[in-house]
Amino acid sequence: DARLHPTTELTFPAGFRWGTATAAYQIEGAAGEDGRTPSIWDTFSRTPGKVRNGDTGDIAADHYHRLREDVALMRDLGVTDYRFSVSWPRVQPTGRGPGEQKGLDFYRRLTDELREAGIRPVATLYHWDLPQELEDAGGWPHRDTAERFAEYAALVAGALGDRVAMWTTLNEPWCAAFLGYASGVHAPGRTDPVAALRAAHHLNLAHGRAVRVLRAALPASAEISLTLNLHAVRALSDSEADRDAARRIDALGNRVFLDPVFHGRLPADLVEDTAALTDWSFVRDGDLEVAATPIDSLGINYYSPTVVAAGTSASPSPWPGADRHVRFVPAPGPRTAMDWPVDAQGLYELLTRLRDELPEVPLVITENGAAYDDYADPSGDVHDPERVAYLHAHLAAVHRALADGVDVRGYFLWSLLDNFEWAYGYGKRFGIVHVDFASQRRTPKDSARWYADVIARGGLPQ
Ligand code: GBH
């Protein structure tokens, strides 16, 4: 409220949801406890050479044993919502059949604790940790995995349906399909472009099947969503060749999911671009209708824009069929510790595009944040000024989009805690709370105090 905080420059709408986000494999640890079996990320991270420094999620931030402390951290921040993911191999160890009660109980304890703290639980069903048994049976390129996912969704809805306000089926199916099966930099580490296209389709199908299952099982008030890491694609120049490169990446990075999920169709140009690889006959009658089952909102994870020009890329790449047509151009300007460009305008562009293309769909920023090396002063305070600047700039972009009529309902900061940053291991820190991985001590950084102030004001300070 601007009257209470005269120095608040940009006020967000009442009811705007302020959250933080995490994912099971990145924080939980307890990889072998209470009946949990290996997921593809356990297998991948234990394979030498796949993850920097040989890091694994075996212990991670030990959140499985520290959920009360971590919820208390969020209560201190004042967040309204918390986005976590459910570990499939923890709650359904073989990927089929009955659930594992001890695993389900963990999420019941977590959601109890959240509700007691006045924080809305937002659950993601799949944040990349496929049970290894299902990968052994073919993984996402195999159609049956979509059926298994729908059954798993029913199991989790049965256990948590009375206590989770918002449900996300999949986190970033682009990464699951194309980093997992085409470039191989994520689990399961396969480098087969056709398998990746099949995976993308089966993820769309799994999403739609799960939406139907959730809709039938959950109270009418439950919000059902999907999170995509949409690519804010820009052509390096206005030349026809560069614009064609941008079109290809828009097809493979965005419309491969947006078109099935919101329009029940495949992008015609994508089918044409990939004709030498596949005839898409794995898409069966009725699949696209299932994928297009209505949802209540779209989650967007945004970190950086993507700049492309006509050219070629090294293979294996995560872009089936585009390697000989597209070159990725490093964007100018400052970089995060991931070497990703800092460019809040890309978020604004993405949001206004979605307003124009999907005017009926409410949007939620389900992830935004940055990795930086922080530093502790002699008193132990942890400083991360670049992260504060990054967050400020991106929230200002969200505010500008709101002013321009984009229906953004909330913002989830990635991430609550420093955690296992996938192929980068523990070397990259995204948290607003520092984690000492030797002692598991949590220390809120300056950015945590800054975010708590933003939430308390309902907006950005000057
Ligand atoms: C998200 O992934 C994840 O949901 C989260 O678990 C993760 O910790 C967080 O962001 C930070 O990484 O792949 O060559 O096209 C974001 C993944 C990163 C995928 C940037 C696209 C662009 C380079 N995205 N990446 S490329």
- Residue 462 Cα to ligand 1 middle (Å): 30
Output the pLDDT for position 188. Answer: 99
Select from 27, 125, 170, 172 the residue to mutate for testing ligand 1; criterion: most ligand atoms less than 8 Å from CB.
172
Please state the atom number of ligand 1 nearest to the C-alpha of residue 304. 20
| Ligand 1 neighbour 318 (Cβ under 6 A) | yes
Distance CA 346, CA 459 (A): 21
| Ligand 1 neighbour 172 (Cβ under 6 A) | yes
- Residue 421 Cα to ligand 1 middle (Å): 9
Distance CA 331, CA 305 (A): 8
**Checking DSSP bridges between strand 408-414 and strand 17-21, what pairing results, if any?**
parallel
- Residue 192 Cα to ligand 1 middle (Å): 20
| Ligand 1 neighbour 175 (Cβ under 6 A) | yes
| Ligand 1 neighbour 414 (Cβ under 6 A) | yes
| Ligand 1 neighbour 301 (Cβ under 6 A) | yes
- Residue 109 Cα to ligand 1 middle (Å): 29
Q: Tokens representing 259?
A: 């078109």
Residue type, position 134, single letter: L
Decide if 311 contacts 327 (C-beta within 8 A): yes
Output the pLDDT for position 133. Answer: 98
| Ligand 1 neighbour 171 (Cβ under 6 A) | yes
Select from 52, 175, 420 the residue to mutate for testing ligand 1; criterion: most ligand atoms less than 8 Å from CB.
175
Output the pLDDT for position 3. Answer: 55
Q: Tokens representing 403?
A: 């002013």
| Ligand 1 neighbour 22 (Cβ under 6 A) | no
Distance CA 228, CA 354 (A): 12
Decide if 264 contacts 403 (C-beta within 8 A): no
Task: Give the residue numbers marked as catalytic.
Answer: 367
- Residue 422 Cα to ligand 1 middle (Å): 9
Distance CA 129, CA 428 (A): 20
H helices of 54-129, where?
67-77, 88-91, 101-116
| Residue-by-residue DSSP string for 153-186 | HHHHHHHHTTT-SEEEEEE-HHIIIIIHHTS-SS
Decide if 144 contacts 202 (C-beta within 8 A): no
- Residue 68 Cα to ligand 1 middle (Å): 28
Output the pLDDT for position 4. Answer: 55
Instruction: Detail the DSSP E strand segments found in 41-153.
Output: 81-85, 120-126
| Ligand 1 neighbour 336 (Cβ under 6 A) | no
Output the pLDDT for position 332. Answer: 86
Please state the atom number of ligand 1 nearest to the C-alpha of residue 424. 12
Distance CA 180, CA 173 (A): 10
| Ligand 1 neighbour 367 (Cβ under 6 A) | yes
Select from 233, 422, 429 the residue to mutate for testing ligand 1; criterion: most ligand atoms less than 8 Å from CB.
422
| Ligand 1 neighbour 421 (Cβ under 6 A) | yes
Please state the atom number of ligand 1 nearest to the C-alpha of residue 414. 9
Distance CA 89, CA 85 (A): 12
Report which protein residue has its CA nearest ligand 1's atom 15: 318
Distance CA 25, CA 135 (A): 17
- Residue 285 Cα to ligand 1 middle (Å): 32
Distance CA 118, CA 179 (A): 37
Distance CA 254, CA 416 (A): 27
Q: Tokens representing 430?
A: 């995204």
- Residue 127 Cα to ligand 1 middle (Å): 12
| Ligand 1 neighbour 413 (Cβ under 6 A) | no
Distance CA 280, CA 269 (A): 13
Give the bridge partners for 429, in sequence order: none
Please state the atom number of ligand 1 nearest to the C-alpha of residue 422. 8
Report which protein residue has its CA nearest ligand 1's atom 18: 303
Report which protein residue has its CA nearest ligand 1's atom 7: 421
- Residue 284 Cα to ligand 1 middle (Å): 30
Report which protein residue has its CA nearest ligand 1's atom 6: 23
Residue with tokens 């922080």: 374
Task: Write out the chain's pLDDT in tens, 462 residues.
Answer: 445 566 778 999 999 999 999 999 999 999 999 999 999 999 999 999 999 999 999 999 999 999 999 999 999 999 999 999 999 999 999 999 999 999 999 999 999 999 999 999 999 999 999 999 999 999 999 999 999 999 999 999 999 999 999 999 999 999 999 999 999 999 999 999 999 999 999 999 999 999 999 999 999 999 999 999 999 999 999 999 999 999 999 999 999 999 999 999 999 999 999 999 999 999 999 999 999 999 999 999 999 999 999 999 999 999 999 999 999 999 888 999 999 999 999 999 999 999 999 999 999 999 999 999 999 999 999 999 999 999 999 999 999 999 999 999 999 999 999 999 999 999 999 999 999 999 999 999 999 999 999 999 999 997
CA distances from 103 to 45, 61, 296, 407, 458 (A): 22, 17, 28, 36, 36
CA distances from 125 to 85, 242, 373, 439 (A): 6, 37, 30, 30
Q: Tokens representing 78?
A: 């004042």
Select from 87, 414, 418 the residue to mutate for testing ligand 1; criterion: most ligand atoms less than 8 Å from CB.
414
Q: Tokens representing 368?
A: 């935004």
